[in-house]
Amino acid sequence: MRNISEKSTMPDNEEIACISFNDNREISITEQKINCPGENQVLVRMKACGICKYDIKCYKDSGTDPAYSAKPGHEGVGIVEAVGINVKDIKPGEKVTSDSFGGAFADYFVADLDTVVKIPEDVEEYEFWVAEPVACVVSSLRYLRIEPGDDVVVIGCGYMGLLIIQGLPKDFIHNLTAIDIDDNRLSMAKKFGANRIVNSRDEDAVQAVLDISKNKVDVVIEAVGAKGVIKQATGMLKNGARLCIFGHHAEDEVIPTGDWHMKGLQVLNTTPYMSKNFHKDLIDAVKLMEKGVFDQSELISHTYSFTDIKRAMEEVAENPSDLIKAVVTNYRDKLSFG
């Protein structure tokens, strides 16, 4: 293999399975030659890859991002098979997690060096080491500036909301309230450290927060992306407080900018693109996963074999009520489909 300083015993010219998203929710599975890693890249044998909302968006409409749809998957975890000539700190056989944007739904994927981080060598359940979403949470927490004694609200206890609750510095938060419409997810939020939980299907969330805090709160993290939630969050905040818009709002909506101005709110749109160094976020995410701050063993609700990826995408696209996070795994010995 060209541009490789160290390589595995994997045969040259091996054909591997790769997928792409096509029109009408169709998935193509093709056999392709393994790409050699460039001088600052690594070749990873995929053992697990998370399915995120962007994957589902492109699966439903491949025209959303044709380049990504041709090589989907960006939450890959696996074993390094080969490295480029400039790669010194990662060796074949080591295990890594990646935020390489695209191509990880394949037997092997190539990732830039600054998108991979080593994980413990004794890892066997790779699905729990999908770290790109955790890095998104770490990135947001850097900007939130939670202060001792703050009253904090998290709206939305889906996968990302629960990761946020795991990662918040609960020891010096005065009160952490979690809001959702699903009692099971609220129970998980309580287990992960929320002091109080509110089912907004059963009661007015704003009034419930005011009753709990005896005042308005210092920080609201909106992790839903649903219409109307930003206005709801604004009603919970005291003057000079912080509103974190973490959830992705797919549809434009009218937001209460007048209230934001009169309250002097600090509004943060904490997408990964806000990060000054997302690779550091990924490194720190893995550190905290190793420490047990982030534990995905209860969050990965659905796993699918890579050979069953068509069913995986279709079922996740239907958003079943018990879905928290779905991951495709690749534990088979045979490298290609069929």
335 lies in a domain? no
* 162 and 226 fall within a common domain: yes
Is 91 within a domain?
Answer: yes
Q: Is residue 63 part of a domain?
A: yes
25 & 143 share domain: no
Q: Is the dihedral of CA 89, 96, 57, 186 positive or negative?
A: negative
Tell me: do 269 and 304 sit in the same domain: no
pLDDT at position 304: 97
Residue 285 covered by a domain: no
Query: What number of CA atoms fall less than 13 Å from residue 262's CA on the CB side?
Result: 6
- Look up the CATH number of the domain holding residue 57: 3.90.180.10
310 domain-assigned:
yes
Query: Which residues form the domain of 139?
Result: 134-274
Quick one: 77 and 185 in the same domain? no
Structural domain total, the chain:
2
Task: State the pLDDT at residue 133.
Answer: 97
Phi and psi at 221, nearest 5°, equal -105, 115
Indicate if 242 and 141 belong to the same structural domain: yes
For the purposes of burial, counting CB atoms within 10 Å of the CB of 253, is it exposed (0-12), middle (13-18) or buried (19 or more)? exposed
- pLDDT score of 335: 46
Identify whether residues 159 and 117 lie together within a single domain.
no
Based on the fold, state whether residues 162 and 250 are members of the same structural domain.
yes
Q: What pTM, to 2 d.p., does this model score?
A: 0.92
What pLDDT is stored for residue 154 in this prediction? 98
pLDDT recorded at residue 182: 96
| 312 found inside a domain | yes
User: Does residue 94 share a domain with residue 139?
Assistant: no
Instruction: Tell me if residue 196 falls in helix, strand or coil.
Output: strand
> CA-CA distance, 329 to 19, in Å (whole number)?
14
DSSP H helices in 41-182: 53-60, 66-70, 132-144, 159-167
Residue 239's domain is classified under what CATH number? 3.40.50.720
pLDDT in single tens digits along all 338 residues of the chain: 334 444 444 545 667 888 999 998 999 988 888 878 999 999 999 999 999 999 999 999 999 899 999 999 999 999 999 999 999 999 999 999 999 888 999 999 999 999 999 999 999 999 999 999 999 999 999 999 899 999 999 999 999 999 999 999 999 999 999 999 999 999 999 999 999 999 999 999 999 999 999 889 999 999 999 999 999 999 999 999 999 999 988 888 899 999 999 999 999 998 888 889 999 999 999 999 999 999 999 999 999 999 899 999 999 999 999 999 999 999 865 444 44
Same domain, 303 and 215: no
In a domain, 287, yes or no: no
Beta bridge partners of 116: 98
Based on the domain organization, do 152 and 238 belong to the same domain?
Answer: yes
Range list of β-strands (E), the chain = 4-7, 15-21, 27-33, 41-51, 76-84, 95-98, 108-112, 116-118, 151-155, 175-180, 196-199, 217-222, 237-245, 266-268, 300-305, 325-329
269 plus 318 within the same structural domain = no
Going from the C-alpha of 267 to that of each of 165, 206, 263, the distances in angstroms are: 19, 18, 11
Which residue has tokens 């709801």? 232
Whether residues 301 and 317 share a domain: the answer is yes
| Domain assignment present for 201 | yes
